[in-house]
Amino acid sequence: MSATARVPALMYHRVGDAHNDWEARYAISPENFAAHMQALARKGHRAIGIDALVDWLEGGPPLPEGAILVTFDDGFRGVRDHALPVMEKLQWPFTVFLVSDLIGQEDIWTRAANPAGVTYPLLDAEEIRDMQRRGVSFHSHTRSHASLPTLDAEQLAEQLAGSRQALSALLGHGVPYIAYPFGHLDDRVEAATRAAGYRAAFSTQSGFNRRDVNRFRIRRIDVYGTDTPAKLLRKVRLGCNDGSLGHAARYYLDRLKSRLLGASR
């Protein structure tokens, strides 16, 4: 099986300093983010555009060896300040999923979860348009970062189609992709996402994306701010959120066992 038969998609959130353990999971320091991308590049990885991934899932052209997708949920300003320069230097495309009602505001949905009760700035319209001119692609993360399975049919359609409309007006083109807030989804949410006219949707379920993945449940590896570059590389190699050495050892042992069993048959 060639490396391009399975594509890892990485999920980051805020790029900037973390001030407590809760934030350390969702925020990566600018230095560590740069180290992550450099480690991937040294291992022969390269980021591909979101359209290339979805085209490939639909039977389109093959992807380069070592292809990965880099995504950022929520649209924090720190992505522009700290991630954009790193990605421009590598000439790597990336995708940001925006909360359409909160453009130019802050991540108010985290206030209850973050023990510090603080919020951080999100990109404003001008910054988004500037990044778009520089090759960044923007897609939907709903209108208000709602937990979609909790909504009734009308509210669900509002979040899905409403954000698509608002972002299309801002960006001047269609918005074919969405990332489910909190990764919350069920069959009803998936059906509503299809009905709202999206082409594909991104979950937070870990794993590789093979061509047979459900395009409305594309998998992503959750990258934590505390992940060292070595741990990130293990996550990418194993396609999971647990990049611990113990997990890596079990993975290779299982593979070895199944190979030995296969050979003895």
Residues of this chain that bind Zn ion (CB under 5 A):
73-74, 181
Using alpha carbons, select from 101, 177, 107 the residue that is nearest to residue 139: 177
Which segments of the chain are extended strands (E)?
9-12, 14-15, 27-28, 46-47, 67-74, 95-98, 137-140, 177-179, 200-202, 221-222
Report which of 239, 52, 15, 26 is spatially closest to residue 145, judged by C-alpha positions. 26
If the CB atoms of residues 23 and 73 are measured against Zn ion, the closer one turns out to be 73
SS3 55: helix
User: Cβ closer to Zn ion: 183 or 229?
Assistant: 183
- Helix residue ranges per DSSP H, 72-228: 77-78, 84-90, 125-133, 153-171, 187-195
Q: Nearer Cβ to Zn ion, position 8 or 181?
A: 181
Of the pair 182, 251, the CB lying nearest Zn ion is at 182
Task: Tell the smallest beta-carbon distance from residue 42 to Zn ion (Å).
Answer: 29
Q: In this structure, what token pair is assigned to residue 58?
A: 């639909």
CB of 179 to Zn ion, least distance (A): 7
Minimum CB separation from Zn ion for residue 189, in Å? 15
User: Count of residues for the chain?
Assistant: 265
Residue nearest to Zn ion (CB): 73
> Identity (one letter) of the amino acid at 36?
H
Question: Least distance (Å) from Zn ion to the CB of residue 128?
Answer: 16
Amino acid symbol at 3: A
Closer to Zn ion by Cβ: residue 73 or 127: 73
- Least distance CB 73 / Zn ion (angstroms): 4
